Structure 1
Amino acid sequence: MSKLFEILQKIRTKPGMYLGKASVSDLFHFLVGFKTALRELGIEATKEEMDFYREFQPWVQKKYQVSTSNSWAKIIMLHCANEQEGFNTFYKLLSEFQNRQKNLKGDLFDKQSSAENKPNLEEVIGR
């Protein structure tokens, strides 16, 4: 498992220990600092982490149908009554985001499998 997702699970269970309180805005700032610290230490991000860093923001924008330069945390807060609700919403969205990867991989695998199972021209003619 990646360092990013390990720390996110720890924060989810004990937000007060890492953030002071369950807050999507504080979580966002924590993650920016976490990413910066890893980069400064020369620790490379995994493929899953890079996908999160590059794709989560546009995915949230698409989900909420907004085009903005605001962070994903601010977009989430536009739809939540308070920081605690935003924090909980982030984890729901994160789960959806990660599952969309699995669904995309599954769809790709299904397409490859069905393409591999299709007979080629020689097989058709030979029948």
Structure 2
Amino acid sequence: MDKVYNQIQQIRQNPIIHLGKRSLHLLKAYLDGYIEYHNEISDKPDYFFLPKFQEFVQERYNISTTHNWVSLISFYSSSEENAFDNFYKLLDEFFSENAD
């Protein structure tokens, strides 16, 4: 399984330890750093599943935009905590539809 996916699942179990609070924006910042570090130390850079997740979120909200998945999920959520929870719901849907 994807390294980023595994890290996201660890964060899901206890977001307070990893992020300080349930925040989609903090999760995105964490993931950006995690991916940048991985790509810096690895001989083979990897962009993981997130570009496909971006497409999935755009399709789910029936919108074509240059806004990233964080902005889209946040826009359609009632609060930062709700956006965090909605991210995990969408992630579960994404992987159930794209299981290989």
TM over 0.5: yes
- Which segment drifts farther, 84-93 or 35-44? 35-44
Which residues of 2 match residues 39-78 of structure 1 at below 5 A?
39-42=39-42, 44=44, 50=48, 52-78=49-75
**Would the aligned equivalents of 1:22 and 1:83 in 2 still touch at CA under 8 Å?**
yes
* CA deviation vs aligned residue, 1:49-107 (integer Å, no higher than 9, x gap): 63x122111110111011111110110011111111001100010000001112xx5xx
TM-score by length of 2: 0.89
Deviation at 1:8, TM superposition (A): 0.8
Q: Show the counterpart of 1:34.
A: 34
Q: Does 1:85 align with 2:82?
A: yes
- Cα RMSD (Å): 1.7
Unmatched runs of 5 consecutive residues or more in structure 2:
none
Q: Are 2:88 and 1:100 equivalent residues in the alignment? A: no
Bigger radius of gyration, 1 or 2? 1
Partner Cα separation in structure 2 for residue 45 and residue 16 of structure 1: 29
Percent identity over the alignment? Answer: 33
Structure 1: 5+ residue stretches without partners: 106-127
1:8 and 2:8 correspond: yes
* Higher helix proportion: 1
